[in-house]
Structure 1
Amino acid sequence: MSHAAETAAGGPAELTRAQQSVKEHSAAIRWASRILPLIGLAVCAGFVIAGLKSGVLSSQDDLRAFIDSLGFWGPLVFGFASFASVVFPIVPGGLLVLAAPVLFGPVTGTIINWVAVCAGSLLNFIIARHIGLALIETLFSEKLVEKYLGWTRHRNFARAFAIAIVLPVAPDDLLCYLAGTTKMRFSAYAIIILLGKIPTLLAYGLGISALLATVVPW
């Protein structure tokens, strides 16, 4: 564990049970954080191949008909996958953000994105508040953590964090975890996430999806 993480945890003698568990299983957690995204991408590729072979992806109407046939389970499973990808890198979250408006329509897809991403971001804060930097330095490279750890020491961190959420200029998932190690109140954090994710998801999810629809014939 780095000096930064050791300081945040109060030193080796003051590790909580959760922090001790992370320390003991750090190698497995680090391995999973590297391998699972690759598995997730492979699964996504498998779904695309299967969709092309079955004809589901032959047109947007066929895809929408298939999604509608899933009923309640379609949005639920997709939303859970999106939520999980925010907390732990199962698949790149950006892919799911782009896919939601295509799969469920611009309004429903954006709502699913917002609920899932916000829920995952709120959980990241809670996890970090209870475990500290121990888990963060396991999921992310120490160099990357140290690079953005300086933000948390700035007196205007809340303002910088809000700007980063609205205008993604830094890794959101890492910043959300780091925010949980600061003195920021959960209520202030929640407001920033719930409001700040709206313009981001509208611009990224709807904007890029619409752009792709004009470029890629379907």
Structure 2
Amino acid sequence: MSTVAVAGPQPTLAPRPTPTATTFLRWSRRATVTGWLGCALLVAWGVQSGVLTSVGQLQAFLAGFGLWAAAVFALVGASEALFPVFPGSITIIAAPLLFGPVVGTLAAYAATCLGSVAVFLLSRHVGADLLAARFRPATVDRWLRRVRHRHFPRWFAVAIAMPVGPDDLLCYLAGVSRMSFRSFLLIVLALKPWALLAYIFGVLALVRAFVPWLAP
């Protein structure tokens, strides 16, 4: 007696969130809410003190702290990868407007690289269940199939070099792949500057064209 195979959906690769991943996600949400409240207080203080009444006032205020302001900005930007108070693209756009094209680009580069490394290490420590806790199961399932492909490092390198891409998701995926930390770090350090330069100078061109009073 022969059996007939019944077509059906492929088994999912996405794991169920574990307590460790769920706990991290819960603390991430709390940190995000705390960040929103902190930003609201800073905005209220900045408006009252006059620091946020104009871009020039804000730039002069930050200039008083020297390179420390750019360093703190980079650390805050890096934390956005783990605790997304604001989209990371806002940090990248704001850096050259606040610190100028050179220092601002370096600050954005440091923030992006530090955030990428933090995401990679966290994903490698917690595992694929962190992906299941943070992203939609369909998204996780689709990308995990690519992670297991032998050409994933090449795809990752190409995606990192693109000006617009899901960097956080890519770094989470790299953390659960077989890619070594050394390879990951070399790809990010070597290819991310080109994506940042294209993105930053593209945004600056639009700013100069439509809102020239904001351009550095």
TM-score range, shorter chain: 0.7 to 0.9
Rounded to whole Å, the distance in 2 between the matches of 1:158 and 1:214 is 38
Once superposed, what is the RMSD of the aligned Cα atoms? 2.7
Q: Is the 8 A contact 2:21 2:126 kept in 1?
A: no
Q: Is the 8 A contact 2:98 2:104 kept in 1?
A: yes
Partner of 1:10: none
For the pair 1:90 / 2:85, whether they are aligned, the reply is yes
Please point out which of 9, 15, 20 is paired with 1:5.
Answer: 15
**Partner SS for 2:18:** helix
**Partner SS for 1:61:** helix
Rounded to whole Å, the distance in 2 between the matches of 1:80 and 1:61 is 23
**Partner SS for 2:177:** coil
Partner of 1:129: 124
Rounded to whole Å, the distance in 1 between the matches of 2:48 and 2:205 is 25
Following superposition, the deviation at residue 108 of structure 1 comes to: 0.5
Please point out which of 57, 60, 68 is paired with 1:62.
Answer: 57
- CA deviations 1:59-95 (Å, max 9, x no partner) are 4432221111233442232111101112332321110
How many equivalent pairs are there? Answer: 202
- CA deviations 1:31-62 (Å, max 9, x no partner) are 45556556645654664565455433444432
Where structure 1 has 5 or more consecutive residues not aligned to the other structure, the ranges are 7-21
The answer to which structure has the higher helix fraction is 1
Using the aligned pairs only, state the percent identity: 41
Q: Is the 8 A contact 1:30 1:138 kept in 2?
A: yes
Q: Is the 8 A contact 2:13 2:145 kept in 1?
A: no
For the pair 1:199 / 2:197, whether they are aligned, the reply is no
Following superposition, the deviation at residue 194 of structure 1 comes to: 0.5
- Report 1:5-44 matches (<5 A): 5=15, 23-24=18-19, 26-33=21-28, 37=32, 40=35, 43-44=38-39
Where structure 2 has 5 or more consecutive residues not aligned to the other structure, the ranges are 1-11
Partner of 2:9: none
More deviation in 93-102 or 23-32?
23-32
